[in-house]
Structure 1
C-alpha cells in the first residue's frame, strides 16, 4: 500500500479504510493498535461521563477514534480528548488538545507512557493523563516547560481531587468498576 521506507503523512493515513484497528502517525511512522478490551472501553465511558459535565462550553470531550493532527507527520488518537470547539474540523482536531487521556493496554504501554506524552508535550498540550486499568491507577500530568510533571496520582479506592484543567474528583476504582 505504501512504499517501504517512505515517511507517511496525514493524507496517507486518511486512505486507510480498515476500521478494525487504530492507525496513528508519529514522525511519519505508522503505528497500528488492536481494538480495545471491554475493561478499556469501560474506563473510557466512565471518564467521558465524569469529564463532560465539567467541560467548559468552549471545549468538547470526545472518545477515540478522533484524530489529533499535531503536524503533517504526527497524528495521534488519544482514548479521550478534550479540545477547543473551534479547532475541531469535520475530520479531526486540528492542533493541540487541552487534555489527552490514554488508558493503557498491554500492547500500548510504551507508547502511552513515553512516545505519546513526548509528542504531546513538544506540541504544547497542557494536560496528559494515564490510566492503568489493571492496577487501577490514575496519573495526571501537567506541562512544565517542555516536559510533563506529575500533578496528582491515585490508586484503587483513593480519590484524586483535581482543580486543573477542571475541578473534578476521580477514583480509579470507580473508573474500572462493573457497577
Structure 2
C-alpha cells in the first residue's frame, strides 16, 4: 500500500478503507490496532455516560474512532476524546483535545502509557486518563510544565474524586462491571 520507509501523512491515512482495525500515525509511522473487546467497550460506554452530563456546552465527548489530528504526521484515536466544538471538523478533531482517555488493552499497553501521552503532552493536551480494565485502575494525569503529573488515581472499589477538567466521581470497578 505504501512504499517501505516512507513517512506517512494524514492524507495517506485517509486512503485506508479497512474498518476492521484502528489506524493511527505517530511521527509518520503507522500504528495498527485490532478492534476492541467487549470489556474495553464497556469501559468506554461508562466513561461516555459519566463525562457527557458534566461536559460544558462548548465541548463534546465522543468515543473512538475519532481522528485527533495533532499535525500532518501524528493522528491519534483516543478511546474517548473531549474537544472544543470549534475544533471538530466533518472528518476529525483538528488540534488539541481537552481530555484524551485510553482504555488499555494487552496490545496497546506501551502505546497508551508512553507514545500517546508523550505526543499529547507535546501538543499541549491538558488532561490524559488511562484505564486499566483488568485491575481495574483509573489514573488521571494533568499537564504541568510540558509533562503529565498524576492528579488522581483509584483502584478497584476506590473512588477517584476529580475536580478537573470536570467535577466528577469515578469508581474503576463500576467502569468494568457487567451489571
Q: TM-score range by the shorter chain?
A: over 0.9
What are the within-5 Å matches in structure 2 for residues 158-173 of structure 1?
158-173=158-173
Deviation at 1:136, TM superposition (A): 0.1
- Deviations along 1:66-106, whole A, 9 cap, x unmatched? 00000000000000000000000000000000000000000
May I ask how many residue pairs the two structures share in their alignment? 179
How far apart, in 1, do the equivalents of 2:163 and 2:118 lie? 23
What are the within-5 Å matches in structure 2 for residues 96-107 of structure 1?
96-107=96-107
Are positions 1:87 and 2:87 aligned together? Answer: yes
Deviation at 1:19, TM superposition (A): 0.2
> Gaps spanning 5+ residues in structure 1: where?
none
How far apart, in 1, do the equivalents of 2:47 and 2:66 lie? 16
In the other structure, the counterpart of 2:66 is: 66
* Length-normalised TM-score, structure 1: 1.00
In the other structure, the counterpart of 2:141 is: 141
How far apart, in 2, do the equivalents of 1:4 and 1:159 lie? 47
* Length-normalised TM-score, structure 2: 1.00
How far apart, in 2, do the equivalents of 1:43 and 1:60 lie? 18
> Gaps spanning 5+ residues in structure 2: where?
none
Deviation at 1:153, TM superposition (A): 0.2
C-alpha RMSD over aligned residues: 0.2
The SS at the match of 1:107 is helix
The SS at the match of 1:108 is helix
Are positions 1:111 and 2:111 aligned together? Answer: yes
Are positions 1:49 and 2:49 aligned together? Answer: yes
